[in-house]
Amino acid sequence: GAVVSQHPSWVICKSGTSVKIECRSLDFQATTMFWYRQFPKQSLMLMATSNEGSKATYEQGVEKDKFLINHASLTLSTLTVTSAHPEDSSFYICSARLQGGQPQHFGDGTRLSIL
């Protein structure tokens, strides 16, 4: 149980394009979803927290207009990297949680490469 699917797993695109990453909780309804960024050999860096039907809460230093998060249903959240540039290249991971006091379950991540 508690499976989180993230798609795509790897995307390469040209500078200036927008990229959408999907995160789905397959066998539970997630009241809260989280988006992380991870640089090589470093720990997870929380970008934003989203609750279904509400605006996402972004961490300090994360550009809201750059990283658009939509949490339209209890099983789907999307992260759109707008006008992506090479410095946005990274490993992006989502997680989902049923409710407070429950652990987060992670997707397998998306490797984003901007040329």
Place of tokens 């988006």: 35
What's the rounded Cα separation, in Å, for the pair 72 and 90?
25
3-state helix, strand, coil in the chain (%, to 5): 5, 50, 45
Stretch binding other proteins (CB under 8 A), from 13-21, 36-44, 62-70, 73-81: 36-44
Window 88-107: residues binding other proteins (CB under 8 A): 91, 93, 95, 100-101, 103-107
Which residues here bind other proteins, judged by CB under 8 A? 2, 4, 6, 32, 34, 42-44, 46, 49, 91, 93, 95, 100-101, 103-109, 111
